[in-house]
A and B are shown apart, each in its own frame.
Chain A
Amino acid sequence: MTGAIWNLLLALAWVILSGDFTGLNLVMGLVFGYLTLVLIEPQVEALKGYPARVPRIVRFIGFFIKELLLANFKVGFDILTPPWYMQPGVIAMPLEARTELEITMVANLISLTPGTLSLDVSDDRKVLYIHAMFLDDEEELRRNLKEMEYRALELFR
């Protein structure tokens, strides 16, 4: 968090000092600010882990967009064709996530990818109940969900 604030401050300083108030220059400032933080990370205790987290977030966004598009095509195909290929069902997924924030993030990400909808979390916060549209290959689906959860948790830890 400290790292993100410093990155933003450095970007604003860059924009003000260069006197060019456009969005593109702000992005430039963010990139230069990030490079500065990478350089000084070994010396500053408060910045630990921030430089490594940014590429992870970018990779996660890429991975998420890919999943979103692929799954949307799958659901769209099933909506349009007359016979149903779907086999919906409710499955229980054991959660790695422990805190409320992590569970919320994981549940929301699962809801956002088409074909899966998080229904509820058990009272002891150990299992997430998910309504899935394509249960023809349950093992594959569970593996995908686990990978998504693992990648999302990596952003926090």
Chain B
Amino acid sequence: MIDFIKGTLMLSGAIFTLLAAIGIIRLPDLLTRMHATTKAAALGVILIMLAVALHFGEVGVVARAFAIIVFIIMTAPVAAHVIGRAGYFVGSKLWSGTVKDELRPNYDPLTHELKSGLETEANAVHQPRENDTP
């Protein structure tokens, strides 16, 4: 029974990692590719680590497997966000099937200001922040 669970976890983890690899080749633009690589690959690693923890069943290995899972969950979305954001603002083309883009009209490429679209007269005034360059 436990062998069956381990096998299922291993296999599905490998399949999700494969899906991520296929996705990076097949999908049409940078942002959709980021979807495939980060999440499917993270899920694949998590499943494989669960299988490892089940297989060895020792405290040291289980602790390390869970540490890997926690670190993947902490780092994967940050990496995806940074790469996606950089790619978007550098001007990588969106796929022709993209239905809407609510960011572009609010972004000023000269000052790098990003408006929320919710500004009123009162809160549109620039608020000084501590990391502003004088």
Contacts and interface: CB of A to CB of B under 8 A. Distances in A.
A120 B103 contact: yes
B99 interface: yes
Contacts of B127: 124
B10 to A, nearest CB: 16
- Is chain A's interface secondary structure helix, strand, loop, or mixed overall? mixed
A113 B103 contact: no
A60 B85 CA distance: 27
B11 to A, nearest CB: 14
Interface in A99-157: 107-109, 111-115, 117-124, 126-127, 129, 131, 133, 135
A89 interface: yes
Interface residues of A, number: 41
A149 B57 CA distance: 35
A1 B99 CA distance: 44
Interface in B4-50: 16, 19, 22-23, 26-29, 31-32, 34-36, 38-40, 42-43
- Is chain B's interface secondary structure helix, strand, loop, or mixed overall? helix
Nearest to B34: A117
B26 A119 contact: no
Interface string B116-130: 111100010001000
A117 B59 contact: no
Contacts of A62: none
Contact of A22 (B27, B59, B73): B59
Contacts of A76: 16, 19, 40
Contact of B100 (A68, A84, A90, A126): A90
A92 B34 CA distance: 19
8 contacts: A75-B40, A79-B19, A79-B26, A79-B27, A90-B102, A120-B103, A124-B118, A129-B114
Interface of B: 16, 19, 22-23, 26-29, 31-32, 34-36, 38-40, 42-43, 59, 62-63, 73-74, 76-78, 80-81, 84-85, 88-89, 94-95, 97-104, 106, 113-119, 123, 127
